[in-house]
Amino acid sequence: MKILKFAAGALLVLLFQACSKDDNNSADTVTFTSSSQTVAESAGTIKLPLTISKAVNSSVQVYFDISGTASLNGDYEITTPSPITISAGATTASIDIQLIDDGIIESSETLVVKLTASGSGLSLSSDTTKSIYTLTITDNDTAPTSDLQVDLTWGNGGDDDINKEDLNLYITNNVVIDNGSITSFDVYAKSENTTGFETATLKSDATDGDYYIAVAYNSGSSAVNFKINLNGPGYTNSTATGSFTTSDVGHAVFYGPITKNGTSFGRVAAPEPASFYKPVVFP
């Protein structure tokens, strides 16, 4: 009987030690405290909160990827780049996103942040509601009632940095076309931002006549797709699309004409033929 009691006692000790060992080896987890939120583009800095199940003994890095329809440096900037460092003893952290409040009229866009990897001693949750965060950004701009607003955007969304390519936007008039080539023109309005998207306005008090929208590939080293969006009298999110190749730096493409008559703006025609795709220098 004494032998049996000893064996049973030894078994209990072993089970306790095994459980204690598993508890000590289980990795602490890092998760988002929520899975989504919707904010206006004027909201400024957005903090995506992270929580750690147990304070880490030493600093550890957490990596993340960004996808979605919002564009880096067009719709948002990353204040906290990947990887984020979580300090020793911390149980909370945040990935900070700075929204760009511009004048571009656009639909709601998404920013999807996914935790992808972590340093030693910290694991990621297998629950996607805790490892993926979706930020929906709503626009706060309204279409003009008497003017025509022209917006130029480009890029593929997500972490594709639009500043890799610099595109400029022009509204031109007095355009002279000779044998399929544009020989001269005047610039009525222009947008030549070195960062971010471009927007320009054809005012209702501008001289009546025909106007062309020109998109120029100012600098860059890669192919780029772009979109022109028009809003105002006769236009509600009217879109034209185009693209440049890597050899198109210094070139521009003209869209039009838009015939203006008072506060009425005629419908823009299809893009001009490829012969209008010319190297141009804008004043």
DSSP secondary structure, 232-249, as one string: ETTEEEEEEEEEE-GGGT
Under the banding of pLDDT at 50, 70 and 90, the label for residue 268 is low
- Residue 79 CA: distances (Å) to CA of 30, 44, 93, 95: 20, 11, 13, 8
Structure confidence by residue, pLDDT tens digits, 142-170 = 999 999 999 999 998 999 999 999 999 99
Residue 169 pairs in a beta bridge with: 191, 215
pLDDT at 280: 46
What string of DSSP letters covers 84-102? EEEPTT-SEEEEEEEEP--
For the full predicted model, state whether its pTM sits above 0.85: no
Domain parsing of the chain, residue ranges: 28-138, 148-278
Q: What angle do CA 244, 270, 155 make, to 5 degrees?
A: 30
Assess if CATH 1.10.1040.10 describes domain 28-138.
no
Average pLDDT over residues 64-73: 96
Average pLDDT over residues 200-204: 97
Structure confidence by residue, pLDDT tens digits, 85-97 = 999 999 999 999 9
Average pLDDT over residues 65-83: 96
pLDDT at 22: 35
Under the banding of pLDDT at 50, 70 and 90, the label for residue 84 is very high
Query: If one looks up domain 148-278 in CATH, what number appears?
Result: 2.60.60
Find where tokens 């130029």 sit: 152
Q: Burial code of 176-214, b = ≥16 C-beta within 10 A, e = fewer?
A: ebeeeebeebeebbbbeeeebbbbbbbebebeeeebbbb
Average pLDDT over residues 34-59: 94
Sign (positive or negative) of CA dihedral 281, 212, 138, 144 = positive
